[in-house]
């Protein structure tokens, strides 16, 4: 294992030219992904004493990711962590702090909230259930959740489970409602009870349908709240329990949890921060029911990499379901991105392609890229998110992730 260190900087985050946050905020990042500007448990990482063999003129992927982490801290993030993996060899980078109070360095082995990266876990469970012939992705939502989507012009009889998972349902995002986003951003009641159906109802009330089911891509967290509700009805168990039994335990993801009520983090974790005006507040303890089945999982870089490699490598899904996972709908007019079932396929500027996703919840932002067979991976995370996308820190760390993947 090689760990690269970086300098610390605690200046406030740049808020110019922002869009609204994705998994933790209304509008652009939640309704459409950032356009990437820019297994069984993996074997123990090779112990290394250096960063890599590349010359100074040709920085290694880890060098590139480290430089991006340092830029992210200079841009205002308290801390940034990252990981580059080729096969079973992993290198880690970090810059800044994981706790502003104690100044402890950001630990690339620490836990963090992974936000919308949760969606791939939920879609995997539903694909497994289809493989077990317990449901079909072409079943309507109303088939399993009668009356759950039946307001303001929306009809669950016309929306399929598949359309939930690839965000073509046309359903509005409940996180775009000030009723949800304002108290969540202010973190006024981390223990407020928010049943899934209430979140759905709030989402449906936001606006009348803007497109027909299946017509076009439109990112909405409401889709995955409903997807989790389907899991509950089909299995008789909570989605978190199914994720634990079907994914976390078989892959040995010892540092991954799916909290459903407790808003705290435990063990070795990054503190999460949120910029409000010129102040930056600790938001480590936040309401997990706000994001729920759309974004509540807590994990680490190692566990997230293990999961994504196992998923894309066919260890969790039968071939037919793996093909469905990777069947995409267009995300942008240029054709540079397509959304599958909880994951996205992107064409990078260097000519390479990758699968990936990002996650943004109060206090945390993370992203990952994995190659087609899972042997090449780059991930990064930071511990500040204030429900706005398009910040300089996101651009700099995201570009470093893309460039590092291209250099693999």
Q: Give domain 2-407's CATH architecture.
A: 3-Layer(aba) Sandwich (3.40)
- pTM listed for this prediction: 0.88
Indicate the SS3 state at residue 103: coil
Q: Give me the torsion for CA of 302, 305, 309, 315, rounded to 10°.
A: 50
**Domain range summary for the chain, segments of one domain joined by +:** 2-407
C-alpha 157: how far from chain center: 29
Q: Determine whether 277 is exposed, middle or buried from the number of CB atoms within 10 Å of its CB (0-12, 13-18, 19+).
A: exposed
pLDDT value, residue 28? 31
Main-chain dihedrals φ then ψ at residue 364, nearest 5 degrees: -145, 140
| Cα–Cα nearest to 34, from 319, 359, 260 | 359
**Computed from CA positions of residues 57, 60, 62, 65, in that sequence, does the dihedral angle turn out positive or negative?**
positive
Indicate the SS3 state at residue 180: helix
Q: Determine whether 17 is exposed, middle or buried from the number of CB atoms within 10 Å of its CB (0-12, 13-18, 19+).
A: exposed
Q: How many helices (H) and strands (E) does the chain have?
A: 14, 16
The residues carrying an active-site annotation are: 116
Q: pLDDT tens per residue, the chain (408 residues)?
A: 333 333 333 332 332 222 233 433 322 332 333 432 222 222 223 222 234 444 457 999 999 999 999 999 999 999 999 999 999 999 999 999 999 999 999 999 999 999 999 999 999 999 999 999 999 999 999 999 999 999 999 999 999 999 999 999 999 999 999 999 999 999 999 999 999 999 999 999 999 999 999 999 999 999 999 999 999 999 999 999 999 999 999 999 999 999 999 999 999 999 999 998 888 999 999 999 999 999 999 999 999 999 999 999 999 999 999 999 999 999 988 888 999 999 999 999 999 999 999 999 999 999 999 999 899 999 999 999 999 999 999 999 999 999 999 999
Q: Determine whether 45 is exposed, middle or buried from the number of CB atoms within 10 Å of its CB (0-12, 13-18, 19+).
A: middle
């Amino acid at each position: 294992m090689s760990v690269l260190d970086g300098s610390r900087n605690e200046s406030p985050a740049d808020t110019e030219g922002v869009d609204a946050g994705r998994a933790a905020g209304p509008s652009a990042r939640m309704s459409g992904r950032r356009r990437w500007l820019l297994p069984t448990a993996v074997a123990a990482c090779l112990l290394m004493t250096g960063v890599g063999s590349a010359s100074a003129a040709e920085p290694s992927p880890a060098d590139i990711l480290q430089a991006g982490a340092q830029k992210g801290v200079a841009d205002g993030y308290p801390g940034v962590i990252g990981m580059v993996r080729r096969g079973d060899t992993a290198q880690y980078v970090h810059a800044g702090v994981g706790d502003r109070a104690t100044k402890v360095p950001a630990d690339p082995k620490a836990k963090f909230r992974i936000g919308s990266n949760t969606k791939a876990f939920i879609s995997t469970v539903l694909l497994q259930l289809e493989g077990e012939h317990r449901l079909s992705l072409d079943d309507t939502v109303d088939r399993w959740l009668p009356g759950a989507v039946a307001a303001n012009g929306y009809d669950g009889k016309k929306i399929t489970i598949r359309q939930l998972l690839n965000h073509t349902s046309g359903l509005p995002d409940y996180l775009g409602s000030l009723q949800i986003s304002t108290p969540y951003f202010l973190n006024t009641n981390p223990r407020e009870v928010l049943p899934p159906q209430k979140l759905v109802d709030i989402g449906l009330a936001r606006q009348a349908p803007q497109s027909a089911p299946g017509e076009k891509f439109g990112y909405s967290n409401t889709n995955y709240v409903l997807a989790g509700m389907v899991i509950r009805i089909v299995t008789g168990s909570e989605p978190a329990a199914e994720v634990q039994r079907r994914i976390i335990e078989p892959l040995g993801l010892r540092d991954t949890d799916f909290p459903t009520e407790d808003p705290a983090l435990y063990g070795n974790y990054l503190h999460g921060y949120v910029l409000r005006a010129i102040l930056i507040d600790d938001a480590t303890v936040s309401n997990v029911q706000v994001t729920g089945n759309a974004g509540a999982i807590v994990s680490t870089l190692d566990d997230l990499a293990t999961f994504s490699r196992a998923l894309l490598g066919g260890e969790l899904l039968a071939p037919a379901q793996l093909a469905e996972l990777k069947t995409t709908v267009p995300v942008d007019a240029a054709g540079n991105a397509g959304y599958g079932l909880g994951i996205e396929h992107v064409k990078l500027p260097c000519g390479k392609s990758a699968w990936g996703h990002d996650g943004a919840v109060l206090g945390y932002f993370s992203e990952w890229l994995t190659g087609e067979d899972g042997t090449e991976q780059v991930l990064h995370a930071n511990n500040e998110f204030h429900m706005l996308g398009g910040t300089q820190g996101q651009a700099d760390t995201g570009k470093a992730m893309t460039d590092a993947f291209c250099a693999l």
